[in-house]
Chain A
Amino acid sequence: MDAPLIQKKICLVGSFAVGKTSLIARFVEGIFSEKYLTTVGVKIDRKVLEIEGQSIRLIIWDLAGEDEFIRVRQSYLRGAHGVFYVFDGTRLETFENVHSLIDRVGTTVGNVPGIAVANKTDLKSDWEVTDGAIAALEEKMPVVRTSAKTGDQVEAAFETLTRHVLRSGGDTG
């Protein structure tokens, strides 16, 4: 008999235009679009990952990017098994917002596994976020450097978080 499918809710949070939707599009559909289309509200995608012989269905919540006026609705985070804190390496303020998000997510859903995603490695020469700053964040949580544009490390980021989620236990959704 096949093992039951494990289901995990994963949320992507971060400032607007950091590439959350693009990361999901790359991961789920293997595509990338240069055009920036802002996400309004939430979009949910699903993808099954095979990890260590287990099939895990990820329910991926793409939450609208934060800006001056829009904050993540805390209710969207309910039941999250893992959180991606996404920032854009070329925009320092998006990295700074990650720290505030970590605190807010922690207050809402407690100690949920999270990893930071430093997106846009294809624009490395324009990065404002220094390796030193990322190293400091790495003391809090793993940081994966990705490019949704080239696909570099995108799969690895989802696998890393999923492994963390599985290691942390919790229900099987």
Chain B
Amino acid sequence: MKYPETDILTPVLQALDVLVLQRLGCDEFDVVGESPPWTQAVFGKNADPLSERSDFIANFLHEAEEYWKEPFPGGVESGIWCKTGLDRRDYFLEARALSVNGEAVLIVRSLGEEFEERATLVQRSHDQQLARRALLKDMEKKEILLNCIVHDLSNPLTALLINLERLQRFVTDDGREPLRTAIEVAHRQISLVQSISNLFAAEMADLGHFENTEANTSHAVDEAEAIVRTHLNAALDHTVSLRLDNDLPVGSERVFADSTHLQRVLENLVSNALRYAPEDSAVIVRARDDAKNSGFVRIEIDDEGSGVTESIADRVFNPFVRDHDTGGKAGLGLYFCKMTVTRWGGEIGYDSLPGGGTRFWFTMKRAA
């Protein structure tokens, strides 16, 4: 049965701003009362079936048809959809299938303030979740940077302390007191590093930015040579042979990498290699062209150690990852290396060597 239009119906539907459609047959509907003004903009004016005029309604009608076969109280609603009208305005709509006295009815309404409120709430919630996440990530980054500073300052101090303590065995009575004082100072300095590092944290947080300028270039071989030289004694102590092989063509040694950080990267990688190198083995630092990319210089550090433990193989460059007993180290050295080399635009990695041992390598863009 088709509902008669009464005097009251039209103004009520107008007040509700809803489009009420009575189902006459499959995909055949008749408008009850008058269509709201937005109907034409949303569905067009032609006489095509509704499902052909709205992909969303076409999809919803599957659900609606199922409902009309076996209706239940409340009906089914479509959820919100947005339709850009023929007038280029975005309409937010919701449909509901109802069964009224056995008649199938489809109601479409354009959402106004109610939708605005809901959309604002969802938007605010998402914005807050993203802001919170960004904040947490920022805090994590700062914490890691802080630990990097502690790591870098602690290393030489620890070495100094170890050597001072060794000296205790050889020092004369006259030297004992000054040496004790020196050891105390070294201890104090190590504990102070943590607090001093706070002062540098803000500056270090800028580590993310690097520009390929002349001021940011280094001589790759000179830097590698200097690091090898400073570690020769430590290598001898471990009866490890340490040497530099330079395979770079003359004049091609300049790279985009700031000297201070390049030294720290080399220092970390060479120290690591020496730490894990067995007695009477060799550690070789090599500078050469990057075979994969001629515009890059590649530095390799080979050792003959037992290799990277399988359990950490894919996480070696992650923060706080430690292999073997690293004597209280935080596991930030390789993380720092990755962060720094990536910042220069290079790559870093490692390979297991066929005869045993590991090759750590990194690349730096050649400065023209």
CA A101 to CA B342, docked complex, whole Å: 33
Cβ-defined partner of B79 (8 Å) among A9, A42, A78: A42
Residues from chain B with Cβ under 8 Å of A1 in the complex = none
Report if A3 contacts B (CB, 8 A): no
Cβ-defined partner of A42 (8 Å) among B62, B80, B133: B80
Q: A40 contacts B119, CB within 8 Å?
A: yes
Report if B81 contacts A (CB, 8 A): yes
Task: With both chains docked as a complex, state the minimum distance between the C-beta of A128 and any C-beta of chain B, in angstroms.
Answer: 9
> What is the predominant secondary structure among interface residues of chain B facing chain A?
helix
CA A39 to CA B126, docked complex, whole Å: 11
How many residues from B make CB contacts under 8 Å with A? 25
Known: A76-B59, A132-B314. A44 touches B81 (CB 8 A): yes
Report if B55 contacts A (CB, 8 A): yes
User: Which residues of B (313-344) have their CB < 8 Å from a CB of A?
Assistant: 314, 342
Task: With both chains docked as a complex, state the minimum distance between the C-beta of B25 and any C-beta of chain A, in angstroms.
Answer: 21
Residues from chain A with Cβ under 8 Å of B92 in the complex = 40-41
Cβ-defined partner of A78 (8 Å) among B59, B115, B130, B314: B59
Q: A38 contacts B83, CB within 8 Å?
A: no
Closest to A39 in B: B82
Q: B82 contacts A41, CB within 8 Å?
A: yes
Residues from chain B with Cβ under 8 Å of A107 in the complex = none
Residues from chain A with Cβ under 8 Å of B79 in the complex = 41-42, 73, 75-76
Known: A16-B126, A67-B129. A43 touches B81 (CB 8 A): yes
Q: A75 contacts B80, CB within 8 Å?
A: no
User: Which residues of B (142-179) have their CB < 8 Å from a CB of A?
Assistant: none
Known: A59-B55, A78-B59, A132-B314. A38 touches B126 (CB 8 A): yes
CA A48 to CA B296, docked complex, whole Å: 44
Task: With both chains docked as a complex, state the minimum distance between the C-beta of A77 and any C-beta of chain B, in angstroms.
Answer: 9
Report if A17 contacts B (CB, 8 A): yes
Q: A78 contacts B62, CB within 8 Å?
A: yes
Task: With both chains docked as a complex, state the minimum distance between the C-beta of A101 and any C-beta of chain B, in angstroms.
Answer: 18
Task: With both chains docked as a complex, state the minimum distance between the C-beta of A89 and any C-beta of chain B, in angstroms.
Answer: 14
Task: With both chains docked as a complex, state the minimum distance between the C-beta of A20 and any C-beta of chain B, in angstroms.
Answer: 13
User: Which residues of A (40-82) have their CB < 8 Å from a CB of B?
Assistant: 40-44, 46, 59, 61, 65, 67, 70, 73, 75-76, 78-79
Cβ-defined partner of B82 (8 Å) among A42, A78, A91, A132: A42
How extensive is the interface on chain A, given as a class? 20 to 34
Q: B119 contacts A38, CB within 8 Å?
A: yes
Task: With both chains docked as a complex, state the minimum distance between the C-beta of B249 and any C-beta of chain A, in angstroms.
Answer: 31
Residues from chain B with Cβ under 8 Å of A40 in the complex = 80, 82, 92, 115, 118-119, 122
Task: With both chains docked as a complex, state the minimum distance between the C-beta of A163 and any C-beta of chain B, in angstroms.
Answer: 22
CA A38 to CA B56, docked complex, whole Å: 19
Q: A75 contacts B63, CB within 8 Å?
A: yes
Q: A41 contacts B81, CB within 8 Å?
A: yes
Q: B55 contacts A41, CB within 8 Å?
A: no
Report if B125 contacts A (CB, 8 A): yes
Residues from chain B with Cβ under 8 Å of A73 in the complex = 79
Q: A44 contacts B83, CB within 8 Å?
A: yes
Residues from chain A with Cβ under 8 Å of B127 in the complex = 36
Report if B123 contacts A (CB, 8 A): yes
User: Residues 1-42 of chain A: 1 if any B CB is under 8 Å from the residue's CB, otherwise 0?
Assistant: 000000001000000110000000000000000001111111
CA A5 to CA B353, docked complex, whole Å: 58
User: Residues 145-169 of chain A: 1 if any B CB is under 8 Å from the residue's CB, otherwise 0?
Assistant: 0000000000000000000000000
User: Residues 39-65 of chain B: 1 if any A CB is under 8 Å from the residue's CB, otherwise 0?
Assistant: 000000000000000011001101100
Task: With both chains docked as a complex, state the minimum distance between the C-beta of B354 and any C-beta of chain A, in angstroms.
Answer: 23
User: Residues 58-94 of chain B: 1 if any A CB is under 8 Å from the residue's CB, otherwise 0?
Assistant: 0110110000000000000001111100000000100
Task: With both chains docked as a complex, state the minimum distance between the C-beta of A22 and any C-beta of chain B, in angstroms.
Answer: 14
Residues from chain A with Cβ under 8 Å of B60 in the complex = 75
User: Which residues of B (293-316) have their CB < 8 Å from a CB of A?
Assistant: 314
Q: A38 contacts B122, CB within 8 Å?
A: yes
Task: With both chains docked as a complex, state the minimum distance between the C-beta of A44 and any C-beta of chain B, in angstroms.
Answer: 5
Which 4 residue pairs are nearest across A and B when measured between Cβ atoms? A41-B80, A43-B82, A42-B81, A38-B126
Interchain residue pairs with CB less than 8 A apart (19): A16-B126, A36-B126, A36-B127, A36-B130, A38-B123, A39-B82, A41-B81, A43-B82, A43-B83, A44-B56, A44-B81, A61-B55, A67-B126, A70-B122, A73-B79, A75-B60, A76-B59, A78-B59, A79-B62
Interface of A toward B, CB cutoff 8 Å? 9, 16-17, 36-44, 46, 59, 61, 65, 67, 70, 73, 75-76, 78-79, 91, 125, 132
Known contacts A40-B82, A75-B60, A91-B133; 20 additional CB pairs below 8 A are A16-B126, A36-B126, A38-B122, A38-B126, A40-B119, A42-B79, A42-B80, A43-B82, A44-B56, A44-B83, A61-B55, A67-B129, A73-B79, A75-B62, A75-B63, A76-B59, A78-B59, A78-B62, A78-B63, A79-B59
